Chain A
Amino acid sequence: MDRNYDNIVIVGYGIAGMTAADTLRSHGYQGRLTIVGGEPHEPYSRPALSKAMLADVSTVEPQYLPASDHGAKVLLGSRAVALDLKRNTITLDNGEYIDFDGLVIASGSTAKRFTDHPREFAVRSLDDALRLRTRLHDQPNVVILGGGPLGMEIASGARNIGCAVTLVHRGLPMASHLGPYLGGWCTEAARARGVELIDGRVAEVYAPDSADGPITVCLESGQEVGGDVIVSTIGDAPEGDWLADSGLLTDGRLKVDTRGRVNEHIVAAGDIAWLPTADGHERQPLWTAAIEQAKTASHALLVGDEAPPLNFQSYFWTEQFGLTIRVSGDFPIHGEPEVVARGQKANPDALLLRWNGDAQSAAAVGYRIAIPKLRKVATGDFLPS
């Protein structure tokens, strides 16, 4: 180890924070390790919140991540509210300070929303998901704002539970993630399962002063859409408020280098981090990206340039309206794919698709294939027999 740390702090105990703790230990760090975990829960699978958690009506079982032996002191339900780089201290929400010599920033992001009204739901945390689930069981009329993966997965779950669902989205749902071809499939599947789709953009959400008055969505076209509850799935914003006065943010963004470093003794990983790409700095708010970034960044914290830079290959999946779609390569993608294989006995409708041309993209629709193979299908290096 180049640097002699003895007091590393990780802020955020999601998948990135947990992976960082494991990685520091596996690279031989034996010093003090403290994790500030803003939620009152042990880490859990966030992708499951809009999938299994809503799909299975019979159980409410959060998918906690398997426990780790990192031996860190974990402060659950404790939030960092400020970072002071002159003293190398973090202020916690109970007013206490903790100091550090190395810092991993893994505070993720929060869901954007239009209002603070209790009838507007947004899903980021386990508590958000439990609250929504409980509410959906009364089968309210649900209006979902946003037709990305989160909106479509929640729409699918709400239909399963028996709610009437209206989804507002500008253009074809899922197309901005997957492209028009697969977006068209998702849209068809949503319609077939009884989701009312409205093509439009939200101008404003009118929330009543009281908690039980009706909540109304006003579209740019002038159309008004009302429901018992609305669920906003309009994207996430990085959890950077606690860094506002730290001097680490540029235009509100926490930018890192190709090894996740913010500076010599601070690294960042997961949904909070803006990574250098050919098109400038971008976030990669995906489960596998958070894991890869946390591994790279915590290794780089310990050994600097000796740590290999991030080499991330994107992988994305969604489950909605009976479709399980998993993609690797460049997405969204235009044009029609070629069907390179069809499902076997158990699921004859399954398809393995590949787009030819400059882009290297493959999709498995209900088709079970290991990710390494799907990546090879995308690059044209593998075809199932």
Chain B
Amino acid sequence: MRIELDQPRCEGHGLCEEVAPDLVHLDDEGELVIDIAEVEAGSNEEHHAQEAVRICPVTALSLK
């Protein structure tokens, strides 16, 4: 499964970083960087990715 970011929508809240610091981070300019995009179904990473997708208040992240 792949984490995808709708870049224009992202407002840099970084709430996703709080629940999935292993997968995403905001860089010094405040742009969200996806460090690990591919996550294995059923893995810990996938669980974190789901949480990141859920917490984003502007629905900028998706997992496909």
In the complex, chain A residues whose CB is within 8 Å of the CB of B59: 45, 48, 63-66
Within 8 A of B (CB), among A221-271: none
- State whether A19 touches B26 (Cβ < 8 A): no
A19 to B13, CA, bound (A): 19
A344 at the interface (CB under 8 A from B): yes
Instruction: Determine whether the beta carbon of A288 is less than 8 Å from that of B55.
Output: yes
Answer whether residue B35 sits at the interface, using C-beta atoms and an 8 A cutoff: no
Verify B17–A372 contact, CB threshold 8 A: yes
Say whether A370 contacts B18, CB under 8 Å. yes
In the bound complex, do residue B11 and residue A291 qualify as a contact, i.e. CB atoms below 8 Å apart?
no
Docked-complex contact B53 and A370, CB < 8 angstroms? no
Contact among B14, B50, B57 with A370 in the assembled complex (CB-CB below 8 Å): B14
Q: Which residues of chain A are near B57, meaning CB under 8 Å? A: 45, 47-48, 287
Pick from B21, B31, B54: contact of A291, CB under 8 Å: B54
How far is the CB of A339 from the nearest CB of chain B, in Å?
Answer: 17
A182 interface contact, C-beta 8 A: no
Contact yes or no, B58 A48, CB < 8 A: yes
CB-based contact B55/A291 at 8 Å: yes
Q: Is there a chain B Cβ closer than 8 Å to A18's Cβ?
A: yes
B26 touches A26 (CB 8 A): no
Q: How far is the CB of B64 from chain A (nearest CB, A)?
A: 9
Q: Which residue of B lies closest to A346 (CB)?
A: B29
CB atoms of A371 and B18 under 8 A apart = yes
Q: Is the CB of B15 within 8 A of A66?
A: no
Asked if B54 contacts A315 (CB within 8 A), the reply is no
Asked whether B63 is an interface residue with its Cβ less than 8 Å from the other chain, the reply is yes
A371 to B54, CA, bound (A): 16
- Chain B CB within 8 A of A52 CB: yes
Show the binding face of A for B, using Cβ within 8 Å.
15, 18-19, 22, 26, 45, 47-48, 52, 63-66, 287-288, 291, 315, 317, 324, 326, 344, 346, 367-374, 384
* Cross-chain pairs A/B with CB under 8 angstroms, 11 sampled: A15-B54, A22-B54, A45-B58, A52-B58, A63-B59, A287-B57, A288-B55, A291-B55, A368-B29, A370-B14, A372-B21
Closest to B24 in A: A370
Choose among A66, A291, A344, A373 the residue that contacts B29 (Cβ–Cβ < 8 A).
A344
A368 contact set on B, CB distance < 8 A:
12, 26, 29-31
CB-CB under 8 A from B15, the residues of chain A are: 288, 315, 371
- A294, closest chain B residue (CB): B54
User: Contacts A369-B26, A369-B30, A372-B18 given: A22-B50 contact, CB under 8 Å?
Assistant: yes
Residues of B within 8 A of A374 (CB): 14
Q: Tell whether B23 is near chain A: CB-to-CB under 8 Å.
A: no
Q: Which residues of B contact A346 (CB under 8 A)?
A: 29
Chain B residues lying within 8 Å of A372, measured Cβ to Cβ, are 14, 17-18, 21
Please measure, in the bound complex, the distance between the C-alpha atom of A65 and the C-alpha atom of B53, giving whole angstroms: 8
- Closest residue to B63 on the A side, CB-wise? A66
Tell me the smallest distance from the CB of B63 to a CB of chain A, in Å: 7
CB distance A63 to B58 under 8 Å?
A: yes
